[in-house]
């Protein structure tokens, strides 16, 4: 039986939670779906803050009223204390002249007790008034904070309305753009573009390959030409030296040509 009741309880809680979720979604859609909804949401929040502000104001007024009463009571005690001091001075004078005056002694004791009571009440009132002043300062800071928040809410409301309008416009444009792209069949043109890109890539590859082969041939020709030129120069030098030796053997003094000397 207990398990059955617990199961029923879980079902009820699930239904309540689902209802709250749906209610929250409805509230969200109301407050976020349009400019009027946004303003309604900020107005509701601003009304709550104004309500808190008024509650604090009411509390401040109550504290001020009690503080004023205590201050008035303190003023009255101060006046009573001054009058009491004069009365005590008179009693002391009477006792000085007539120490056996029992009525004067009794009045002195009664007035002195009242003096102690006044001193104690004055001290308590001063402490309470100081505490109330601290509370009033705290309440004033709270009021300033609520006022600043209300002003911030007003400014944020205008920014949110503007942001919502811009976001809605961007969303609509994006949807329209998506719809345009989806409604147009671009498959044929895309196939043509892909074919052109493939042919261009193939041509570039073949061109690079041909260029590489040409460069190798040119490098080979250059190397072979340089070797031929060097061999011809060597043969020329050898011929000139042989001629010089032959002339020397014949007894003539033939000088080696400047060109030969440079080559040497």
What is the per-residue pLDDT across 148-157, written as a single tens digit (0 to 9) for each? 988 888 888 8
* Domain ranges within the chain, ordered by starting residue: 33-184, 194-263
pLDDT tens-digit series, residues 68-116: 999 999 999 999 999 999 998 998 888 888 888 889 888 889 989 999 9
32: confidence class by pLDDT, cuts 50, 70, 90: low
| Joined tokens for residue 163 | 């942001």
Would you state the pLDDT for residue 254?
Answer: 45
Of 180 and 72, the one with more pLDDT? 72
- Calpha distance 59→186 (Å, rounded): 72
| Joined tokens for residue 39 | 């303003």
Q: Does domain 33-184 have CATH number 2.20.28?
A: no
C-beta neighbour count of 202 within 10 angstroms:
10
């Amino acid at each position: 039986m207990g398990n059955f009741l617990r199961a029923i309880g879980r079902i009820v809680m699930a239904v309540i939670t689902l209802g709250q979720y749906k209610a929250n979604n409805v509230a969200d859609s109301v407050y976020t779906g349009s400019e009027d909804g946004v303003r309604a949401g900020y107005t509701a929040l601003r009304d709550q803050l104004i309500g808190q502000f008024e509650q604090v104001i009411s509390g401040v007024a109550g504290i001020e009223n009690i503080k004023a009463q205590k201050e008035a009571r303190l003023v009255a005690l101060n006046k009573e204390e001054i009058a009491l001091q004069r009365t005590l001075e008179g009693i002391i004078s009477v006792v000085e002249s007539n120490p056996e005056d029992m009525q004067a002694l009794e009045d002195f004791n009664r007035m002195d007790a009242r003096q102690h009571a006044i001193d104690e009440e004055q001290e308590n009132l001063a402490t309470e008034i100081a505490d109330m002043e601290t509370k009033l300062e705290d309440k004033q800071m709270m009021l300033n904070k609520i006022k600043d928040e209300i002003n911030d809410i007003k400014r944020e409301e205008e920014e949110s309305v503007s942001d919502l309008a811009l976001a809605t416009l961007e969303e609509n444009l994006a949807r329209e753009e998506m719809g345009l792209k989806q409604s147009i069949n671009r498959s044929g043109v895309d196939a043509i573009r892909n074919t052109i890109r493939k042919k261009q890539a193939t041509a570039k590859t073949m061109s690079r390959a041909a260029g590489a082969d040409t460069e190798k041939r040119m490098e080979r020709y250059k190397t072979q030409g340089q070797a031929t030129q060097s061999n011809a120069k060597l043969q020329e030098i050898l011929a000139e030296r042989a001629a010089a030796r032959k002339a020397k053997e014949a007894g003539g003094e033939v000088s080696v040509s400047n060109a030969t000397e440079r080559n040497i």
